[in-house]
Every structure is written in C-alpha cells, then in structure tokens.
C-alpha cells in the first residue's frame, strides 16, 4: 500500500520551517512516497523486546570540571551574523504586542 | 620525476632526505591543479598562497635542523564540510556560501600543527547528502576516468583531487558511504574509521551518530600515515573514544595466513554488475591462495539497512540543520516577520536533496509517526549490530563489493532519488553498526572504470583493514592506478 504523502507535505514543511513552491511540493510528494514505501519495509521486522540503538557507543554522559576556560571573542562569534546590531544578532520583531498579564 | 605522481609516503621520504623541498612539492601540485582542475572541478576554494607559506615555513625549519614529523611538508586537500578557521567553509551550500569558521576542526588543527600545507577545500554533495557530488550548489565534480561520469559522493572532490594527482592525500567524511563509494568509483583507498576513532569536532554535522572523518589516498600506506595523526581522543568531541591508537603503518611483508575472511552474500549479489562481483571474487581467491580461510556469510538484515538508514540519517539531519535559520550565520532571506524569515531562508538556501532529507526526517520524528519510523529504525539498527557481532565471532574481516556498479553517468540518477540512494547499498550497514570499513581498488572494468572491494572489521581494527588492503595492493595484477584524463578537445593530461 502506497503512502499518500501529498496531504502531508504542507504540514511537514510547516513543521520544518521550509518554504516550498507548488512545483517542489508536487515533486516532493511523489518522491517522498517512494522513499517512505521502501523505508517502511523495516516494519516487517519483529522488534519486540529489542532495545533501540541511538548511538553505537554506550558512553556515559561525559562531564568535565566546572572551570572557566577561554572562549571565542564576541567579535569572532558575531563575525558571520547576517544582521548584527552592536553585540547582538538582529532579528525581526518577534512579539507585536505584549499580552496582558493573566489575573491569577 | 614528477612530484605530483608520488605517493604521500614517497614524498615524506624525499622531504626527510632533503632531496626535495616542500615548496617544490607544493608547486608541483599547484601546477597540476592549474592543468587538470578546469576539467574536473574538484575544489570549491583554492589556497595556493596559504599552501606555499606553510611549505616555506616547514622548509626553513628543516634547514634549521629541526626534527619534523614525517608528514611535515606533505600537502593535503580537505573536504569543505570540515571547519578551517578564517577560510570559507561552505558544505557546498548556498546557505554557507560566505561562512568563515571562527575555529579549526581538530583534524585541521592537527594538519596545521604538523606542517601539512592545505591545497584547498574540496567539492561535495550539499551537506554531504548524496552519492555523486551532483548535489553541490556550485557545480558537479567529474570522474577523471571518464569525464561524462560522476566521481561518487559525497566526498567526490576529495577523491578526484587525489586520483588526478592534484593532492597526495585528502580528508573526507563518511555518514553512509561518502568516503568508500567515491574511493571505489575513482580507484582509491578510502577508510571510514570506527565511530569515535577520529574527532568530529569542527565537522559540520549531518547525522551525528553516523558521521566520521577519514582518509582518501592512492595507497593503504598513505591512508595509514594519515590515520596515525588524526586518530585518538579529543576532549572537544564527547563521542571520541580513548582506546589506544595503534600504529597503522603498513609493512610490505604483510601476509594474510589464517586470516578468516567472510564473503557477504548480499554484497556480491547477482543483481550487481557481474564485472564487480568477478573482480571481488578474484581478490578473495588471492587471499585464499595466500593462506586465508574463506567462507560465505549472510547478513540477512542488509536488506533492511537502506530503510533504517534513510530514516535515521534524515531524522538526525532534520534536527542538526535546524540551526540554519538566518540568524547567527549563513544565508538570510530578509523579511520583517521572523517565522516567514526562517522558512524563506531555508526554502531558498537549501537545495532539493537537503530539503528532501529534512522533510523525511521531520516526518519520521513527527507525532504519530515516531514509533513506526524513527523508533523502529533504531531497533532495526540494534538487530544490524547483532548481525555483525555474530559474524565477527567467525570472521576477522567481512568483504564484498563497495558499489553495485562502476561510476554512473552524470544526470543518470538525479531524477530518481531512490536509485541514487541504492548506490550506497553496500556501505550503509557498516556505518549503522559503527564498524571500520575500507574500500580498496580490485580491478578495472571493460569500459576502463575502477572497481572497488569493501572490507569491514570489528571496532578499532582499522589497522587490520589497512594491512589487508596493503597486501592486495602489493599483489594486484592490473594497472594503472591513476587515470589519464581524456580531454574533450582531444589529448590527455
């Protein structure tokens, strides 16, 4: 049974913050249906009681001493910023209006 | 003697004996680049002045009597997803077209410290997603054995630079075959190290549980020399491992007596180009004739590897590539609404394959599908690891073809992503299992295209892979190792 990805494309593109034009959406729907049809063959396998492998190395969380170390200068950190204002990354306005505080 | 035709090991020897200077070596490669590069396009950024400065500094230190590392003065090319401080690092993407890393990757810090001149940053599939280097946002790289064909990918630029004598060594990265597949298609040795063996610090992330940096070279010895300096624990990469680093040096008298060799049935499949299977079996026979114990082995989960990989890698990618939102670095679409700016930046900045992977990954991780896709894929990954653990109880190495076909034509698979993905079918499960895996040349097709054989070993046994590759190299009965590049206007270089 083929997956109809057409209905999902808009929703997934929205989740991924990805603008796609109509032509891209059409192509994407067909190609992703094919790819997912192949990928979901893994659902044939019985994986009851199988632990997932997120990582091939079973490392414990790696901790280090909590000591300050030199880090990159602000200028180096900001050198690639598409938009910079003084020592900040500049972005478009995020909140248009401060919502009124709830009573409780 | 043409210096650009020498292996890294020979150059190292000539430099140590002071028979040549590093400036002469670097100049030979720069001249070769000027001649060949216009036809193959394997670099994104050239760094001739930087290379000559480094060579000059090394020569001065050597003349001053300083004891230098054997690789000092031996130049190298680096894939353009490995961060170089102050030097543009693009991942072959419009998104990072003007990105200047504020720090060096650990492997780059190492090669700079040893005095290895950097010749340039090599072309690749955008964000290392692809198998042909056609997904570069700038231009495709061409296979020097046949300019109408792809060099493989995603480390296609690194492979072609070495294959054509534009660099004696190169660094690539391998997430699901991106070192081994281009090595095979260009007639080189390429090694994907054990996951955690080489620091990933400064490697721009694609799929973090799979990405590894590794060498591409003409010979096993050259890859071994590079592995000797890039392997080991790095406090800046919490997934790097502290296991002792062996000396990987390959000795000419290596033998394969009593080596237990398993031939993976799925990787010498009847559906593959019969010339590849024949070339692989010829190499297997050579091992057997020299005392190796050879038997067949089935890794039944290989058939599910592609599915698991194309859920896990895109899932990790969709998360890792979330950072390209036009705020801290990279392309920015403009606009006065932040949500619209994020979406337009990403929509215009990323190429089609990157968008496809982000979409697959986002879907596989989304509510309602997570268990059936991503979680199931991670469980299948566990089953694949068990397949390998079982096989490695019986065998020291597992072998098969590196690719189902020799290099394919440019444009042949670009309209059908699934067919493109299938060109990595032999490379994926080793990556999912986290084991070291190497491609070594094993023949030339009737069309004059290189054929490759893949060898996998248990974790941390990359030394064994290099040793066996070195043995096969010593005993191979075909030439040449390097192509004569036939020019469209006639003649060859």
**CB within 8 Å: B196 and A76:** no
Specify burial of residue B379 (Cβ count, 10 A radius: 0-12, 13-18, 19+): buried
pLDDT in the model for residue B478? 73
Residue A96 has pLDDT above 80, yes or no: no
For residues B103 and B328, what is the distance between their CA atoms, to the nearest angstrom?
A: 15
Angstroms from B337 CA to nearest CA on chain A: 6
pLDDT in tens, A17-73: 999 999 999 999 999 999 999 999 999 999 999 999 998 887 777 888 899 999 999
Mutating which of A37, A82, A84, A95 best tests the B interface, going by the most B Cβ atoms within 10 A?
A: A82
**CB within 8 Å: A56 and B385:** yes
* Concatenated DSSP letters of A55-104: -SS-PPPP-----------HHHHHTT-SSEETTEE----S-SSPPPPP--
The token duo for B231 is: 């392997």
Domains of chain B, by residue range, sit at: 3-255+468-474, 303-378
pLDDT in the model for residue B319? 98
Q: What is the CATH number of the domain that holds A35?
A: 1.10.20
Q: Which residues of A touch B335 (CB under 8 A)?
A: 92
pLDDT in tens, B137-184: 999 999 999 999 999 999 999 999 999 999 999 999 999 999 999 999
**CATH entry, B3-255+468-474, from 3.10.20.600, 3.40.1010.20, 3.40.50.150, 3.90.1300.10:** 3.90.1300.10
pTM surpassing 0.95? yes
Residue A36 included in any domain: yes
Helix (H, G, I), strand (E, B) or coil at B341: helix
Q: Which residues of A touch B338 (CB under 8 A)?
A: 91-94
The token duo for B403 is: 């690719």
Residue A21 included in any domain: yes
pLDDT band for position A1 (cuts 50, 70, 90):
very low
pLDDT in the model for residue B254? 84
If you measure CA to CA, which chain A residue comes closest to B364?
A36
Residue A38 included in any domain: yes
If you measure CA to CA, which chain A residue comes closest to B373?
A40
Catalytic amino acids of B? 79, 154, 178
Based on the structure, what is the number of domains in chain A? 1
Radius of gyration from C-alpha coordinates of chain B: 21
Q: Which residues of A touch B233 (CB under 8 A)?
A: none
Mutating which of B198, B239, B307, B335 best tests the A interface, going by the most A Cβ atoms within 10 A?
A: B307
**CB within 8 Å: A42 and B348:** no
Strand B260-264 to strand B293-297: parallel, antiparallel, or no bridges (unpaired)? parallel
pLDDT in the model for residue B479? 65
Specify burial of residue B415 (Cβ count, 10 A radius: 0-12, 13-18, 19+): exposed
pLDDT in the model for residue A2? 54
Q: Which residues of B touch A28 (CB under 8 A)?
A: 355-356, 359
pLDDT in the model for residue A61? 79
Which of A16, A38, A77 lies at the smallest CB-CB distance from B359? A16
Q: Which residues of B touch A17 (CB under 8 A)?
A: 322, 325, 339, 342-343, 346
Residue A58 included in any domain: no
Q: Which of B322, B317, B428, B325 is nearest to B364 (CA)?
A: B317
Residue A17 included in any domain: yes
Angstroms from A78 CA to nearest CA on chain B: 7
Q: Which residues of A touch B343 (CB under 8 A)?
A: 17-19
Rounded to 10 degrees, the C-alpha dihedral B123/B126/B130/B134 comes to -60
Mutating which of A42, A64, A90, A92 best tests the B interface, going by the most B Cβ atoms within 10 A?
A: A42
Q: Which residues of chain B have pLDDT under 50?
A: none
CB-defined contacts A:B, below 8 A: 168
Which structural domain range is residue A19 located in? 6-43
Residue A86 included in any domain: no
Residue A19 included in any domain: yes
Residue A5 has pLDDT above 90, yes or no: no
* Helix, strand, coil % over all residues of chain A, rounded to 5: 35, 5, 60
Q: Which residues pair with B172 in a beta bridge?
A: B214
Radius of gyration from C-alpha coordinates of chain A: 23
Residue A97 has pLDDT above 70, yes or no: no
**CB within 8 Å: A35 and B330:** no
**From start to end of B175-299, where are the E strands?**
189-192, 212-217, 260-264, 293-297
CA distances from B58 to A100, B19, B115, B170, B296 (A): 67, 14, 6, 19, 50
If you measure CA to CA, which chain B residue comes closest to A55?
B209
Q: Which residues of B touch A59 (CB under 8 A)?
A: 238-239
**CB within 8 Å: B377 and A42:** yes
Residue A75 included in any domain: no
Angstroms from A54 CA to nearest CA on chain B: 6
**CB within 8 Å: B241 and A57:** yes
Q: Which residues of B33-64 are buried (b: 16+ CB within 10 A; e: fewer)?
A: beebbebbbbbbbbbbebbbebbbbbbebbee
* Concatenated DSSP letters of B196-217: TSB--TTBPPS-TTT-EEEEEE
End-to-end, the C-alpha distance of chain A in Å comes to 52
The token duo for B217 is: 């070279």
pLDDT in the model for residue B175? 98
pLDDT in the model for residue A100? 63
């Amino acid at each position: 049974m083929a997956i109809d990805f057409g209905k999902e494309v808009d929703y997934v593109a929205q989740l991924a913050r990805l603008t796609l034009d109509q032509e891209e959406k059409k192509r994407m729907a067909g190609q992703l249906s094919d790819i997912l049809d192949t990928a979901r063959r893994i659902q044939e396998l019985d994986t009851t009681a199988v632990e997932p492998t997120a990582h091939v190395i079973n490392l414990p969380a790696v901790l280090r001493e909590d000591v300050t170390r030199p880090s990159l200068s602000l200028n180096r950190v900001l050198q690639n910023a598409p938009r910079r204002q003084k020592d900040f990354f500049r972005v478009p306005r995020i909140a248009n209006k401060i919502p009124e505080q709830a009573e409780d | 003697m043409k210096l650009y035709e020498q292996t890294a090991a020979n150059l190292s020897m000539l430099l140590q004996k002071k028979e040549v200077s590093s400036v002469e070596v670097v100049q030979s490669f720069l001249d070769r680049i000027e001649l060949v590069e216009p036809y193959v396009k394997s670099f994104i950024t050239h760094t001739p002045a930087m290379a000559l400065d480094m060579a000059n500094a090394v020569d001065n230190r050597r003349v001053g009597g300083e004891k230098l590392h054997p690789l000092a003065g031996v130049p190298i090319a680096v894939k353009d997803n490995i961060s170089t401080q102050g030097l543009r690092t693009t991942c072959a993407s419009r998104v990072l077209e003007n990105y200047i890393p504020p720090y060096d990757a650990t492997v780059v810090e190492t090669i700079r410290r040893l005095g290895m001149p950097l010749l340039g940053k090599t072309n690749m599939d955008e964000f290392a997603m692809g198998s042909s280097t056609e997904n570069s946002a700038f231009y495709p790289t061409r296979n020097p054995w046949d300019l109408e064909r792809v060099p493989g990918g995603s480390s296609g630029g690194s492979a072609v630079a070495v294959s054509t004598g534009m660099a004696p060594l190169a660094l690539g990265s391998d997430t699901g075959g991106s070192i081994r597949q281009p090595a095979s298609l260009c007639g080189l040795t390429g090694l994907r190290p054990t996951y955690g063996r080489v620091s990933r610090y400064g490697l721009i992330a694609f799929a973090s549980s799979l990405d590894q940096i590794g060498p591409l070279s003409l010979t096993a010895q050259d890859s071994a020399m590079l592995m000797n300096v890039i392997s080991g624990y790095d406090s800046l990469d919490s997934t790097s491992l502290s296991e002792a680093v062996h000396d990987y040096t390959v000795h000419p008298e290596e033998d394969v007596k009593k080596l237990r060799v398993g031939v993976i049935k799925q990787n010498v499949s009847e559906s593959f180009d019969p010339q590849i299977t024949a070339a692989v079996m010829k190499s297997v026979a050579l091992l057997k004739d020299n005392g190796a114990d050879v038997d067949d082995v089935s890794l039944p989960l290989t058939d599910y590897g592609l599915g698991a990989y194309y859920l896990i890698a895109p899932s990790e990618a969709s998360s890792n590539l979330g950072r390209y939102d036009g705020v801290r670095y990279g392309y920015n679409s403009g606009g006065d609404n932040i949500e619209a700016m994020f979406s337009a930046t990403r929509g215009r900045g990323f190429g089609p394959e990157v968008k496809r992977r982000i979409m697959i990954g986002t879907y596989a991780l989304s509510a309602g599908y997570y268990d059936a896709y991503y979680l199931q894929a991670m469980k299948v990954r566990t089953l694949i690891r068990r397949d390998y653990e079982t096989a490695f109880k019986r065998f020291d190495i597992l072998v098969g073809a590196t690719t189902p076909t020799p290099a394919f034509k440019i444009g042949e698979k670009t309209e059908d992503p699934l067919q493109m993905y299938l060109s990595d079918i032999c490379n994926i499960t080793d990556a999912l299992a986290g084991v070291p895996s190497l491609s070594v040349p094993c023949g030339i097709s009737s069309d004059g295209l290189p054929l490759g054989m893949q060898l996998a070993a248990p974790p941390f046994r990359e030394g064994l892979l290099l040793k066996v590759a070195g043995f096969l190299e010593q005993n191979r009965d075909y030439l040449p190792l390097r192509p004569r590049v036939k020019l469209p206007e006639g003649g060859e270089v």
